[in-house]
């Protein structure tokens, strides 16, 4: 679903123009924040490990190096997850239009629910905050597990990709589910019934978002893929699209 969404996005310059501005704004903010985290990682590691002050030099420095790396890793995971939520809020009308046009190519949404943009934004904010809180609750134990030798370096990243991919999938299908009058609980229920499909999509997006500028460039493709994922999970057709351009002037046709 992600790569099909990427194909739809890449072949339509109109969708690129719709999707690139919110990603650039969020990307600049998050890039600055992540650079600051890396720059101050050693100071933060020292701040959270005062108990190591009396250790021998090599033990203390080695432990704080692991702590700094764990902080950067946690920041990357939370950054990917919150980037999606923040960018979807900033670009809500743009991404809603991308999702709508992609679905229109595959037959549209039967009995679409028309929701005023301000109400949609309010719901999106509330659901995004709930997802961010859930991801933080999972991220903290993973951060602590990062201190465990071997497990923290090999097992935790895999678990983080699976957990992060799941939360990304739940977040990204928000727009097409809102269009059908369905909320966060409905998203989780439907995706749980299609867990392999949802995880395959979400983990692919998660890994691509870890690439520098990947989240900025590929967010619209992820939104397009999420529209296809939603249709597949809800049993609606995702076969050959109807002929005609995806892109159109901004505004409901």
Q: Is residue 248 part of a domain?
A: no
Among the residue ranges 36-40, 126-130, 165-169, the one predicted with the least confidence is: 126-130
Q: Is residue 37 part of a domain?
A: yes
* Residues recorded for the chain: 253
Q: What is the 3-state secondary structure (H, E, C) of the chain?
A: CHHHHHHHHHCCHHHHHHHHHHHHHHHHHHHHHHHHHHHCHHHHHHHHCHHHCCCCHHHHHHHHHHHHHHHHHHHHHHHHHHHHHHHHHHCHHHHHHHHHHHHHHCCCCCCCCCCCHHHHHHHHHHHHHHHHHHHHHHHHHHHHHCCCCCHHHHHHHHHHHHHHHHHHHHHHCHHHHHHCCCCHHHHHHHHHCCHHHHHHHHHHHHHHHHCCCHHHHHHHHHHHHHHHHHHHHCCCCCCCCCCCCCCCCCCCC
> Do 179 and 100 contact (CB within 8 A), yes or no?
yes
Q: Is residue 32 part of a domain?
A: yes
How many domains, in total, are found in the chain?
1
For residue 242, pLDDT over 60 is answered with no
Q: Classify residue 212 by burial, with Cβ atoms within 10 Å: 0-12, 13-18, 19+.
A: exposed
> Do 8 and 222 contact (CB within 8 A), yes or no?
no
Backbone torsions φ then ψ of 19, nearest 5 degrees:
-95, -15
Q: How many CB atoms sit inside 10 A of residue 124's CB?
A: 20
Q: Is residue 242 part of a domain?
A: no
Q: Is residue 57 part of a domain?
A: yes
Task: Report the pLDDT value the prediction gives residue 253, as an integer from 0 to 100.
Answer: 36
Q: What is the pLDDT of residues 7-60, one digit of tens each?
A: 888 888 777 777 888 888 888 888 898 888 888 888 888 887 778 777 877 888
Q: How far apart are CA 79 and CA 73, in angstroms?
A: 10
Task: Report the pLDDT value the prediction gives residue 40, as an integer from 0 to 100.
Answer: 84
Q: Is residue 127 part of a domain?
A: yes
What integer is the mean pLDDT of 194-202?
94
Q: Is residue 241 part of a domain?
A: no
State which residues form the domain around 133.
2-233
Q: What is the pLDDT of residues 68-83, one digit of tens each?
A: 888 887 788 778 767 8
Q: Is residue 193 part of a domain?
A: yes
């Amino acid at each position: 679903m992600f790569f099909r969404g990427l194909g739809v996005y890449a072949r339509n310059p109109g969708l690129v123009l719709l999707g690139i501005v919110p990603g650039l704004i969020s990307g600049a903010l998050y890039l600055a924040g992540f650079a600051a985290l890396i720059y101050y990682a050693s100071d933060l590691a020292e701040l959270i490990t005062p108990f190591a002050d009396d250790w021998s030099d090599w033990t203390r420095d080695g432990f704080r190096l692991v702590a700094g790396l764990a902080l950067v890793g946690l920041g990357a995971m939370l950054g990917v997850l919150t980037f999606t939520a923040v960018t979807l809020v900033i670009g809500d009308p743009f991404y809603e239009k991308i999702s709508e046009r992609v679905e229109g190519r595959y037959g549209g949404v039967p009995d679409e629910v028309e929701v005023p943009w301000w109400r949609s934004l309010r719901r999106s904010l509330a659901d995004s905050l709930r997802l961010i809180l859930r991801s933080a609750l999972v991220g903290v134990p993973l951060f602590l597990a990062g201190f465990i030798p071997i497990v923290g370096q090999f097992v935790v990243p895999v678990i983080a990709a699976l957990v992060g991919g799941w939360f990304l999938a739940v977040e990204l299908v928000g727009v097409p589910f809102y269009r059908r009058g369905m909320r966060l609980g409905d998203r989780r229920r439907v995706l749980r019934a299609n867990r392999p499909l949802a995880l395959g999509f979400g983990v692919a997006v998660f890994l691509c978002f870890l690439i520098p500028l990947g989240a900025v460039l590929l967010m619209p493709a992820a939104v397009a893929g999420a529209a296809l994922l939603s249709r597949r999970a809800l049993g609606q057709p995702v076969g050959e699209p109807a002929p005609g351009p995806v892109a159109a002037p901004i505004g409901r046709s």
